[in-house]
Amino acid sequence: KDDDIEEGDLPEHKRPAAPVDFSKLDPGKPESILKLTKKGKTLMMFVTVSGSPTEKETEEITSLWQGSLFNANYDVQRFIVGSDRAIFMLRDGSYAWEIKDFLVSQDRCADVTLEGQVYPGRGGGGKEKNQTKPGKGKKKGGDAKPRASKEGNRAGKTREDL
């Protein structure tokens, strides 16, 4: 039944996966593995705008970011999903880490969530830093509020070897 459809016209989930050239992999950089495996696949990243913006402000700020990425020849679609959050959808996921690097360097970017990993942005204000060691940052007295689930998986500045 799919004989008359060319391979390039098939939906993404029915296309054969592109072969991964393992000779180009750098074992010291796990991101290089993800870049190669996401090549040609649609990928989405969440971006949070800092400073409690309205939905209109989020629309304007993310529109500027999308325009800058478009001028740099990155095909990015943008969807506003909250008063301070947007989804950036990429047709080719191998560019996601370059786009993430651009976004986290922006003044109004609080954080970028990519492949389950939360990367703090320049506009985060330092209040949402990664706390990986238990016991640090405990409040004195009072009830401890449960932390949001996304705070526990922030990317740290230092890399730990497993």
Mean pLDDT of the chain: 74
Q: The whole model's pTM is what?
A: 0.62
State phi, psi for 143 to the nearest 5 degrees: -85, 135
Amino acid at 144: A
pLDDT band of 123, cuts 50, 70, 90:
confident
Least confident of 14-28, 30-44, 86-100, 136-150: 136-150
Q: What is the DSSP letter of 154?
A: B
Structural domains of the chain, ranges and CATH numbers in brackets: 30-123 (3.30.70.260)
What digits encode the pLDDT tens for the residues 44-82?
Answer: 999 999 988 999 999 999 999 999 999 999 989 999 999
pLDDT level of residue 99 (50, 70, 90 thresholds) = very high
Cα 47 from Cα 84, distance rounded (Å)? 8
Inter-residue contact 155 to 118 (CB < 8 Å): yes
